[in-house]
């Protein structure tokens, strides 16, 4: 156990229990930016695993001496939901990479603390009896391994272990981000569609330079504020609760999907009820760019969040349908992506959209 840091905001060491699951799920859905998979199954998984206990969530500033293994689900979230995990996959992947590298993990963290992976690391931490460090590799949902912050910072990924739902285990070592991505995608396409992944334990003196920090805390806070709003809320309330910028609100007038070279592509058009402006959301696994009347008004790596107007529930890219009554919001990305040397991998052009980034400013002193 590391020394508890004397911090009176209660976030130095936070015990996350089953009671936090609803807020975590809603927050993780918001940070998914339309992707990352539905967090609810993972929420059930975590609540079931943790029972009456709790998982320690460590603030990264006080956890610099931990060897952290990043765990999470890779592949198709729909496949994950259809073929639910037996429960041991994540631990199996962790044990495999530990055996391969000969290093023990002293703490876990999430690959991407958004969408369903917003809770997988917490659930795994229960079975492995490890604390979770509040640092991750995305700060939102991102589709490709080469976009993980470790790949962006180091130019390569640490050794990875994949535990497939069929029971096989695979270790991938060496190669840069894009190579790993190709290998992992090929395996997933051939076998099951999803896998539990764990990276070799990583030890860093400054977690803030390695990855987006406090994303789980952001999930918890945003989720709690949404939960507090209750049902039937106004656009302005939701916008204020999330600290977001309102891009538009109205009916979805068209959703067009098309197959692409990699992931499927699509666009959803929302007609703003008040101004009649046409808001086009260009999407891959996540909402990537919002165009208002043809001009880009918000882009990745900022979070583009579509909420059902009546319930303030997130409408994911694969769920959005013509006729939905939605609110479209822009939330600032994690500060990590604001650094110019980090931004290229997650800018619109990294997704093949020839548009300059249009980003909202993270308020000064923001913890994430």
Phi, psi of 178 (to 5 degrees): -60, -40
* Nearest-approach distance from CB 332 to other proteins, in angstroms: 23
Report DSSP state, residue 332.
Answer: P
The helix (run of H) or strand (run of E) holding residue 58 is: strand 54-58
* Nearest-approach distance from CB 16 to other proteins, in angstroms: 40
Nearest of 144, 155, 146, 76 to residue 116 by alpha carbon: 76
Nearer to other proteins, 18 or 277 (CB): 277
CA distances from 220 to 1, 131, 139, 249, 333 (A): 24, 17, 13, 25, 16
Nearer to other proteins, 49 or 270 (CB): 270
Nearer to other proteins, 103 or 355 (CB): 355
* Nearest-approach distance from CB 71 to other proteins, in angstroms: 36
Residues lying near other proteins in the complex (CB under 8 A) = 253-254, 256, 265, 267, 269, 271, 276-278, 280, 282, 289, 291, 293-296, 353-355
Residue listed under structure tokens 């023990």: 104
Give CA–CA dist 85/133, Å, rounded. Answer: 23
Nearer to other proteins, 312 or 320 (CB): 320
Give me the half-sphere count of Cα atoms (radius 13 Å) on the Cβ side of residue 29. 26
* Nearest-approach distance from CB 323 to other proteins, in angstroms: 13
Strand order in the sheet with 287-292: 295-299, 287-292, 278-283, 265-272, 245-258, 325-331, 303-308
Nearest of 282, 330, 276, 334 to residue 306 by alpha carbon: 330
Nearer to other proteins, 221 or 272 (CB): 272
* Nearest-approach distance from CB 264 to other proteins, in angstroms: 13
* Nearest-approach distance from CB 297 to other proteins, in angstroms: 11
Give CA–CA dist 4/58, Å, rounded. Answer: 9
Nearer to other proteins, 144 or 265 (CB): 265
Nearer to other proteins, 73 or 289 (CB): 289
* Nearest-approach distance from CB 253 to other proteins, in angstroms: 6
Nearer to other proteins, 224 or 253 (CB): 253
Q: Enter the tokens of residue 271.
A: 């007609």
Nearer to other proteins, 123 or 268 (CB): 268
* Nearest-approach distance from CB 258 to other proteins, in angstroms: 8
Nearer to other proteins, 52 or 276 (CB): 276
Give CA–CA dist 148/74, Å, rounded. Answer: 12
CA distances from 197 to 16, 128, 312 (A): 22, 15, 31
SS3 1: coil
Give CA–CA dist 143/138, Å, rounded. Answer: 10
* Nearest-approach distance from CB 39 to other proteins, in angstroms: 28
> In the chain, helix, strand, coil percent, each to 5?
35, 25, 40
* Nearest-approach distance from CB 353 to other proteins, in angstroms: 8
* Burial class for 135, CB neighbours closer than 10 Å (0-12, 13-18, 19+): buried
């Amino acid at each position: 156990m590391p020394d508890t840091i004397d911090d009176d905001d209660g976030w130095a060491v936070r015990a996350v229990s089953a009671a936090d699951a609803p807020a975590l799920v809603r927050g993780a859905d918001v940070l998914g930016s339309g992707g990352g998979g539905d967090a609810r199954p993972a929420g059930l998984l975590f609540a079931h695993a943790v029972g009456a206990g709790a998982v320690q969530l460590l603030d990264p500033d006080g956890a610099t001496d931990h060897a952290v293994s990043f765990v999470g689900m890779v592949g198709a979230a729909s496949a994950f939901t259809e073929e639910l995990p037996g429960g041991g996959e994540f631990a199996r992947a962790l044990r495999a990479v530990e055996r391969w590298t000969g290093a023990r993990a002293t703490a876990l963290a999430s690959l991407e603390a958004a969408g369903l992976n917003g809770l997988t690391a917490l659930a795994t931490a229960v079975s492995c009896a490890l604390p979770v460090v509040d640092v991750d590799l995305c700060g939102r949902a991102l589709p490709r391994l080469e976009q993980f912050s470790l790949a962006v910072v180091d130019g390569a990924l640490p050794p990875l272990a994949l535990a497939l739902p069929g029971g096989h285990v695979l270790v991938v070592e060496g190669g840069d981000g894009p190579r790993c991505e190709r290998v992992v995608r090929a395996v997933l396409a051939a076998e099951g569609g999803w896998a539990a992944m764990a990276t070799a334990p990583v030890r860093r003196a400054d977690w803030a330079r390695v990855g987006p920090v406090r994303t789980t805390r952001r999930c918890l806070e945003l989720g709690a504020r949404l939960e507090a709003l209750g049902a039937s809320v106004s656009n302005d309330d939701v916008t204020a609760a999330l600290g977001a910028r309102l891009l538009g609100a109205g009916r979805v007038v068209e959703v067009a999907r098309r197959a692409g070279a990699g992931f499927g592509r699509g666009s959803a058009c929302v007609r703003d009820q008040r101004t009649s402006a046409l808001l086009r959301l260009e999407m891959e696994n996540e909402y990537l760019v919002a165009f208002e009347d043809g001009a880009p008004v918000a882009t990745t790596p900022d979070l583009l969040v579509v909420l059902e107007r009546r319930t303030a529930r997130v409408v994911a890219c694969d769920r959005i349908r013509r006729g939905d009554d939605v609110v479209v919001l822009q939330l600032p990305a994690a500060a990590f992506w604001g650094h110019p040397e980090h931004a290229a991998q997650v800018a619109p052009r990294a997704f093949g959209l020839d548009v300059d980034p249009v980003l909202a400013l993270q308020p000064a002193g923001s913890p994430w």
